Structure formats: structure tokens, C-alpha cells
Structure 1
Amino acid sequence: MKRIAGIFIILIFLYSTYYDLTIGTLPSEISKASEPENEQKVSVESTEEDTMTEEPMSEPFQAVTVEPGNTVLSIVEHLHEGPYPATIQDIIYDFKELNGIEPEEMQIGEEYLFPLYQ
């Protein structure tokens, strides 16, 4: 009887692991947020004039002077007065795009641009 129960528990564990890795258990809102939104599809018939009029999507940002103990995530959380409405990867990517440096390279007393989300 113990052997059957052990096999049953192992089968449930293997099935739940398979389900989690293939289908996932995250809500659809979270998984959609992690997908890149700014993929631009270029049509074959686009002319040079069309590409000149397109402007890159720009998100609002705010300049903040870094103090001791501040991190990119803590500053963004403070700017939004609570939890930030974007994934950590999106915030770090946007910080890199705005400032051209890695978050680990921030210096105390320097001013950097931090993304604002709606």
C-alpha cells in the first residue's frame, strides 16, 4: 500500500512539473506584460518617406539624484507611490535605454533618468 501511494505521489509531482513548464500557471495578464510590446512590423511596401515620419515610442521619465542605499527599483517604487506597474526586466531595460549604463554602475550624488509608468 505504501508503494502504491509513493508511486501516486511521484506521478502527481511529475505531471504538475510538466504542466507548469509547458502551459504555465501565471495569469495571462502577467505573461502578456513580459512580452515585448514595442515590436514594430515593417511592411515590404514601406517607403523611405514612411520610415522618416515614424517616431520611436517614448515613455515619460523623471530625473532623480541618487542617494546612498537607493536602487533603480526602490526609486521607481517611490516615484509610483507603491508597487510599480511593470516587470523588473522592463524597468531595468528602460533605465538602460534612458541612461546608457547598467543599474550597477549608478553613482551616489549623480542624476539619472528613471521611467514613469501609467
Structure 2
Amino acid sequence: MKQLIGIAIFIILVVSVYYDLTEGTLPDHSISEQNIEHADENQDAADQQEGTTLVYQEVIVESGHTVYTIVQALHQDQTIDAGFDQIADDFELLNPEVSAHEIQVGQTYRFPLYIDVQNTPES
């Protein structure tokens, strides 16, 4: 009987871990189009001081969002060549008044876009 209970607990544990890794247990509040404000792709003042150009898009943060998940959603099927630290640093360059780890729900922030400038058609 103890073995049967042990096997049942093991199966439940395996199913739970599988579900957590594939589907996740946190709610997925995907970025809705109404919360994305299409901003001009301009150079930010902080970027000018650093001598770099960052393309960005303004987004209103919803509950459950992180800087990384928003940047991933903005790029959808594209591969992002920047790591977590680079994304956080670029976010903080675009939003010098806030840390990447302290974004607030309902606030609008600038999120970096990593586009391939070489393959972008010229206007």
C-alpha cells in the first residue's frame, strides 16, 4: 500500500513539473495592442549622451509583465541577440528614472527594440 501511494505521489509530482515547465503556472498577460503606443523611433537624450542610438517602443505595463517578457513580446518571432543584462541596461538608458527591476503596473516605459539595421529598407 505504501508503494502504491509513493508511486501516485511521484506521478503527480512528475505531471506537475511537466505542466509547470511547458505551460507555466503564472497567468500569461500577453501585451495587447491597445497597451502599445507606437512611438516614433527616435534617439533618446540619454542615448545621445552615451553616443549610441537605441530604437524603442513605449508600452503600458500590465500585471505580471517584466522587462524581458515585454521585449520578447515586442519581437515575437525574431531572435534577440541581447542577453538579460544588456536588455536591462538598455531599458535603464531609455528610462533613467527607474530600475528595470522596479517597473510599475499602469506606467508607460520605453522598451528597447533590437532590429537588424543592415537589413532594414531605406526610405
TM-score, normalisation: structure 2 = 0.49
Letter in 1 for 2:86: D
User: Residue 91 of structure 1 aligns to a residue in which SS?
Assistant: helix
Q: What is the rounded CA distance, in whole Å, between the counterparts of 1:106 and 1:79 in structure 2? A: 17
Runs of 4+ residues over 6 Å off in structure 1:
none
Deviation at 1:112, TM superposition (A): 0.2
Q: Does 1:57 align with 2:52?
A: yes
User: RMSD of the alignment, in Å?
Assistant: 1.8
TM normalised by structure 1 equals: 0.51
Higher relative contact order at CA 8 Å, sep ≥6: structure 1 or structure 2? 1
The change in CA–CA distance for 1:55 and 1:94 in structure 2 (over 3 A counts) is closer
Query: Which structure 1 residue ranges, 5 or more long, are not aligned?
Result: 1-53
Q: Does 1:110 align with 2:107?
A: yes
Paired residues for 1:1-118 under 5 Å: 56-82=51-77, 83-100=79-96, 101-118=98-115
Deviation track 1:54-94 (CA, whole Å, cap 9, x = no partner) reads: 98221100000000000000000000004422111110000
Q: Which moved more, 1:71-80 or 1:100-109?
A: 100-109
Number of matched residues? 65
Q: The residue matched to 1:104 in structure 2 has which SS? A: coil
Equivalent AA in structure 1 for residue 80 of structure 2: Y
**Percent identical residues:** 40
